[in-house]
Every structure is written in C-alpha cells, then in structure tokens.
Amino acid sequence: MIPRVLAQRAMRLARPSQLSSRSPILRLCTPQPLATPDAAIEHITELFATAQDEFEIAMEEIEKVSVYAQADRDAAREELGKVQEAYRKVVESGDVEVAEEVKRRVGHRIRELEGGVDRMEKIAIEQD
C-alpha cells in the first residue's frame, strides 16, 4: 500500500506544471465567468481543497524534517496563490451580489489557510 503522502506527491508530479497559453487543453480548462454565487463558491472550494491538501502534506514533511519539505512548501504556496487569485477575481468582478456572498461564505477559510501557510513558513525558517 502506498502511503497517502507519496501517492499525493506522485499525482502532483504527474500533472503538467505549466501549459502554454496557446494550448488547447488550457483553453478548455480555463473556467468561464462565474455568474452565480454557488458556481463561484464551488470553483473556489475545489481550489481550496487542493491547497488544503498540499498544506497538510507540507506540514507533515516539515514535522518529519523531510528532504521533500521544501518542494511541498512550494506546492502549498502555489496552490494557495491559485485560490487567492480566483477569490480576488470574483470579489473584484463588479457583481456585488456574487462578491458579497463569496466573501461571506469562503473568505474566512481562505484567511485561515493564509495564516496556516504563514505559520508553516515560520516553522521552516526556525528549522533551518
């Protein structure tokens, strides 16, 4: 049986890290404008779940002082950045109803994850 951490790391490495902006795959995967609060929240929640998983993996590796800790911290920061960008786009979209509902329902979770990633970085600095 493959430990969860190794399986998740293998899945992350199997994903293409960068796609060309001209890539047809990228165009198909680019989300369309999120017109309803539920659609926006669902999109952000999916990104948040990935970021949360990466954060948990990174914390486990930091606690073990693993050689993978730096790469996992980088992955956690990258996924947090994706969540922050999606949240920012919705909040700044101009649709006040959608923006307010998204802020109310997911804003606090994003702030908690930001705080967790900041604490993770402080722990890593103390270990070095």
Find the distance separating the first CA and the last CA of the chain, reported in whole Å: 32
Reference 34, options 104, 116, 101; nearest CA is 101
Instruction: Determine if the pTM surpasses 0.85.
Output: no
Strand stretches in the chain, DSSP E: none
> What does residue 122 show for φ and ψ, rounded to 5 degrees?
-65, -40
Q: pLDDT per residue over 14-52, tens digit each?
A: 544 444 444 444 444 444 556 788 999 999 999 999 999
Which residue ranges make up each domain of the chain? Answer: 34-127
